[in-house]
């Protein structure tokens, strides 16, 4: 049994990941911010944590931590001229500095594990250019850089990897999937002819957190229905 911390486990991919790890028999420490966790997963331990606060105090964690998944993110799509400099700063604070603060706060615990693993989330919109994605692709590009540099700095004790999903059916993507027409159009853009499910992404995250991926570090994995590498039509 391992100890895992899932930041942002009240919704979407983080919730599914917490459920999966719990089901595998691990101890899961899960955090939420706004979303009230009505349907708590039995066995998972929940704590409030807002990563935009200046200092984070994860004193609820055990001494040794085997893995961390950092799930908070945004999809804030706007024409470039409508994006204000402060929007970039707010996005960077959540997606990049939030991860930095969490990793710094739990690093001693990760170092106490025999082999630990950190998973962060990027987006397919870093590798591929999409209209109106300047905000999210800028922050997520930094997340990928952070993951690679920490993978180098922490090897061989702690592995660090990124998952870069395409559109996945979660509350975060609801505005892009809130009609049959939008859902179908998004499905058809992908070689696999559907949008992602929380399970598609959480299964990859659980694998990267586990010892089964023990020789994988510093990587960015597209879990994206083939959209970033295939042209099938």
Ligand X SMILES: NC(=O)c1ccc[n+]([C@@H]2O[C@H](COP(=O)([O-])OP(=O)(O)OC[C@H]3O[C@@H](n4cnc5c(N)ncnc54)[C@H](OP(=O)(O)O)[C@@H]3O)[C@@H](O)[C@H]2O)c1
Query: Which H, E and C letters describe 96-150, residue by residue?
Result: HHHHHHHHHHHHHHHHHCCCEEEEEECCHHHHCCCCCCHHHHHHHHHHHHHHHHH
Question: Is residue 170 near ligand X by the rule CB under 6 A?
Answer: yes
Q: Of the ranges 10-18, 19-27, 59-67, 213-221, which one interacts with ligand X (CB under 6 A)?
A: 10-18
Question: Is residue 121 near ligand X by the rule CB under 6 A?
Answer: yes
**Measured between alpha carbons, how far is 144 from 96 in angstroms, rounded to an integer?**
10
How many chain residues bind ligand X (CB under 6 A)?
28
> Of 2, 3, 12, 206, which lies in the binding site for ligand X, with binding defined by CB under 6 A?
12
Angle between helices 85-92 and 134-154 (to 10 degrees): 30
> Of 3, 4, 14, 117, which lies in the binding site for ligand X, with binding defined by CB under 6 A?
14
Question: Is residue 225 near ligand X by the rule CB under 6 A?
Answer: no
Kindly calculate the radius of gyration of the chain based on its CA atoms and give it in whole angstroms: 17
CB of 15 to ligand X, least distance (A): 7
CB of 113 to ligand X, least distance (A): 23
> Of 3, 11, 117, 161, which lies in the binding site for ligand X, with binding defined by CB under 6 A?
11
Q: What's 117's DSSP letter? A: E
> Of 77, 90, 94, 113, which lies in the binding site for ligand X, with binding defined by CB under 6 A?
94
Joined together, the tokens standing for residue 203 give: 């299964």
CB of 156 to ligand X, least distance (A): 27
Question: Scanning residues 19 to 78, which ones bind ligand X (CB under 6 A)?
Answer: 32-35, 49-52, 71-73
If you search the block for the tokens 């962060």, which residue do you land on? 120
Q: Which of 7, 127, 1, 16 is nearest to 64 (CA)?
A: 1
If you search the block for the tokens 């998972």, which residue do you land on? 44
Phi, psi of 53 (to 5 degrees): -70, 150
> Of 3, 123, 161, 217, which lies in the binding site for ligand X, with binding defined by CB under 6 A?
123
Interacting residues with ligand X (CB under 6 A): 8-14, 32-35, 49-52, 71-73, 94, 121, 123, 165, 167-168, 170-173
């Amino acid at each position: 049994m391992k100890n895992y911390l899932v930041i942002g486990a009240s919704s979407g991919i983080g919730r599914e990941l917490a459920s999966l790890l719990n089901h595998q028999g691990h101890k899961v420490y899960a955090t939420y911010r706004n979303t009230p966790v009505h349907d708590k997963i039995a066995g998972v331990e929940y704590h409030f944590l807002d990563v935009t606060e200046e200092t984070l105090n994860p004193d609820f964690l055990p001494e040794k931590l085997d893995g961390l998944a950092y799930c908070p993110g945004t999809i804030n799509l706007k024409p470039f001229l409508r994006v204000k400099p402060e929007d970039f700063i707010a996005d960077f604070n959540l997606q990049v500095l939030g991860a930095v603060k969490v990793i710094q706060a739990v690093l001693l615990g990760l170092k106490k594990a025999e082999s630990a693993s950190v998973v962060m989330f990027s987006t397919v919109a870093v590798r591929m250019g999409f209209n109106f994605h300047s905000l999210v692709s800028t922050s997520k590009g930094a997340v990928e850089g952070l993951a690679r540099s920490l993978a180098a700095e922490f090897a061989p004790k702690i592995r660090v990897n990124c998952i870069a999903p395409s559109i996945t059916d979660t509350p975060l993507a609801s505005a892009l999937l809130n009609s049959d027409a939008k859902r179908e159009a998004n499905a058809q853009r992908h070689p696999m002819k559907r949008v992602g499910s929380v399970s598609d992404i959480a299964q990859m995250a659980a694998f990267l957190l586990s010892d089964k991926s023990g020789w994988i570090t510093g990587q960015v994995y597209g879990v994206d229905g083939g959209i970033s590498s295939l042209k099938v039509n």
